[in-house]
Amino acid sequence: MSAGAAWDRARLCESPWFASVRHLLDRLPGTRFPSLDDLNALAREQDVRSGGGAPLLFVPPGAHGKDFDNHYEVRIFRAGAVQTRAGSSHDLFNALAWLAFPRTKATLNRLHHDELARRWGEPTRGTPRDVLTLFDEGGIVVACAAPALARLLAEFRWQELFWSRRDEAIAAMRFFAFGHAILETALAPYKGVTAKALVIEVARETLALPGTALIEHLDGRAAEHFAQPGALASTRTLQPLPVLGIPGWTPENDDPAYYGDAQVFRAGRRR
């Protein structure tokens, strides 16, 4: 759904890719693309705040300046102004990520702002901002109640995780798309889509929480993770995850041969 494309809310709500924002989609118009007014009403209701504590407001894009004060993240931090293009699915999904994971998004915004202030004028972005951008665009939050399965994910043992121990993975893991680019990719998915996963170990009873309560819990945990010293030290702190390998995310992975594609389900680092 780019600008002017048809809006199909029902199709999005049926897809596991949108489980993290389904409760928000249910509150958006069913027959037209959501407007800034629609999104701002939800932001006000939830009292969503930027990393600097300003009330969040989705606004039309303005002039882009090269000075610090006009940087996208700085505007959000200071004034809560999230520049959002009308009819843009990419920007819509960014707005929905703010509404679904307000604490995590605020933490990322604060860290972006602080890194920009610290390194303004330097020729390179630096590793911390690379980590923040990777997760903000392509992140997925994985709630896992079985440490052994988390290790399989970290060790790229896809066949064992998603096929040999498939029932265990279905019972003990939940996957919630965070990054707005990952959500946008769901509109036209392909086998090689790979997200950057933040794996959060949880108790079994936590997985039994109602959907919105579980997402709220994970939002707090993810925010705490990124606020920790060392969280931004390396892009390797986030785990690559071929998202169409997740059980239930495509009918094609009901066949064990699906995981034999070494170009997608690659061997990787071992720990």
* pLDDT classification of 122: cutoffs 50, 70, 90: confident
C-alpha span between 111 and 15 (Å, rounded): 32
* Residue 68 and residue 112 in contact, taking contact as beta carbons nearer than 8 Å: no
What mean pLDDT comes out for the span 155-183?
97
| Mean pLDDT of the region 254-261 | 95
State percent of the chain over pLDDT 90.
87
| Residue that has been written with the tokens 């889509």 in this structure | 193
Q: pLDDT at residue 179 above 80? A: yes
* Lowest-confidence pick of 114-128, 164-178, 240-254: 114-128
The answer to whether the CB of 8 falls within 8 A of the CB of 34 is no
Q: How confident is the model at residue 120 (pLDDT cuts 50, 70, 90)?
A: confident
pLDDT of 189: 94
* Identity of the amino acid at 197: A
Residue 40 DSSP SS3: helix
* Closest-CA residue to 184 (of 7, 18, 30, 39): 18
Query: For residue 253, is pLDDT > 50?
Result: yes
Tell me, what's the pLDDT at 124? 74
**Lowest mean pLDDT, pick from 41-50, 58-67, 140-149, 239-248:** 58-67
* Cβ 136 vs Cβ 73: under 8 Å: no
pTM: 0.94
Cα–Cα nearest to 256, from 170, 159, 156: 159
* 247 class by beta-carbon count within 10 Å (0-12 exposed, 13-18 middle, 19+ buried): middle
Query: How far apart, in whole angstroms, are the C-alpha atoms of residue 89 and residue 38?
Result: 14
Per-residue pLDDT band for 5 (boundaries 50, 70, 90) equals low
pLDDT digits (tens, 9 = 90+) for 187-234: 999 999 999 999 999 999 999 999 899 999 999 999 999 999 999 999
